[in-house]
Amino acid sequence: MAVGRRGNVVLATICALALPCGACRPIPAPADELMEHVSVGECSATVVVSPCSCLVGDRIRVALTVRTPEGFRADLPEPNELAIETVEPFGEDVGIPTETGLVWRRSYVAEPLLAGEFEIPSLLVSCRQRHDDTGASAIELNTPAMNVRVESVLVADEQAFTPRGIYGPLPAPKATWPRVLALAGALVIAAAALWLAVRVFRGRCATGDGLSPRAWAMAALDALAQPAWQQSERQREYHYRLTEVLREFVERQFGLRASKMTTREFLRAVASGAAPQGFPEDTFGEVLHTSDAVKYAGAACSPEDAANVLTQARGIVQRCAALAIDTTERGSAAQ
């Protein structure tokens, strides 16, 4: 008990010494702010203006805080009710519940355009009970006007129409990655267009001698029908020439690099879908295998067999040419 009483005496002594020094006074506003406070009954309003001095064109923020009891509502001034140009409202004027009642807040931003004293006008706040439509319980809070010192950006020896070189903020450097992406996209599109042009030129356009792939192949096969090619000692050269014509035709017609492939590689590519649907794979394979037997294995080939292979080759050219036309027409119809 003795210790408790002694502690109370010490605490009372500290409080008595602190009161004259202002320890229990309200905290004043910072040096760069102006603050006014008014209260009527249980309602109060506080206005904080910052900064208290600025340059022409700087923004001045006016923060209004209203405190009311529970069951009250506060009507805060609208921007058009203030005699301030270029005012922008910020914040919500919805009452926020606290331990002591409701808090209402709204902020305004003003931009002074002339040097001198810039006046923040009086703010009128009306507080009344929420269900009071007659205004019998209305309490008006009228904050005093405040002045903000606005300095000019000109120095003493300058005139308004002959200022020194004053420039606004430098523009931020533009990001480089959009340009890189645009350049990469352009290169991809250009490469695709070049690839498509080469393929169309080699496969579907006229050949360098002015003939279509079909006309060129039929002319080359007609040349092999001459009697000079039917001699037995020229059968190996005959089949070399015939298969080269067919491979070159496929390359020109469909863009398939048949001349760079072996027979097995070519047939495997056709089976995997490199050629259009309906390609005469079986007949083509039969002609290639027959010619390979003559070229590499020295198999005997009679004039009748040579004529049959030539007939098959002509059929392959005719069928592939018709297939190319059908594929082009279907693509045009789909577009």
Q: How many domains does the chain have?
A: 2
Report CA 219 to chain centroid distance, whole Å: 56
Domain containing 326 equals: 190-334
First to last CA, the chain: 101
pTM for the whole structure = 0.39
Count of all residues that appear for the chain in the document: 335
The answer to which of 235-239, 297-301, 323-327 has the lowest mean pLDDT is 323-327
Q: Which two tokens stand for residue 229?
A: 């090619």
The pLDDT value recorded for residue 240 is: 92
Q: What confidence tens digit (pLDDT) does each residue in 13-62 have? A: 544 444 444 443 445 556 788 999 999 988 999 999 998 888 888 888 88
163 is a domain residue:
no
Confidence at residue 329, expressed as pLDDT on a 0 to 100 scale: 63
Whether 36 and 83 share a structural domain: yes
228, 294, 302, 308 from 297: Cα distances, Å: 23, 6, 15, 19
**Among candidate residues 294, 184, 203, the one with its CA nearest the CA of residue 241:** 294
Domain boundary among 151, 177, 208: 151
In a domain, 302, yes or no: yes
CA 11 vs CA 1, 8, 17, 20, 24: distances in Å: 16, 5, 10, 15, 14
Question: Directed axis angle between helix 235-254 and helix 281-297, to 10°?
Answer: 150
Identify whether 97 is preceded by a cis peptide bond (ω within 30 of 0). Answer: no
Same domain, residue pair 320 and 201? yes
User: pLDDT tens, 261-282?
Assistant: 888 988 888 888 888 888 888 8
Q: Is a pLDDT exceeding 50 seen at residue 10? A: no
Residues 42 and 121 reside in one and the same domain: yes
Residue that has been written with the tokens 């645009």 in this structure? 182
Co-location of 323 and 229 in the same domain: yes
Give per-residue pLDDT as tens, 110-160. Answer: 888 888 888 888 888 888 888 877 777 788 888 999 999 988 876 655 555
Same domain membership, residue 209 and residue 142: no
DSSP H stretches of helix in the chain: 2-18, 177-203, 213-224, 235-254, 263-271, 281-297, 303-334
| CB distance 293 to 235 below 8 Å | no
Task: With beta carbons less than 8 A apart as the criterion, state whether 207 and 263 touch.
Answer: no
Q: What amino acid is encoded at 212 in this protein? A: S
Pick from 124, 151, 178: which residue ends a domain?
A: 151
What is the pLDDT, as a whole number, of residue 76?
Answer: 86
Question: Do both 144 and 198 map to the same domain?
Answer: no
Report helix angle 303-334 to 281-297, nearest 10: 140
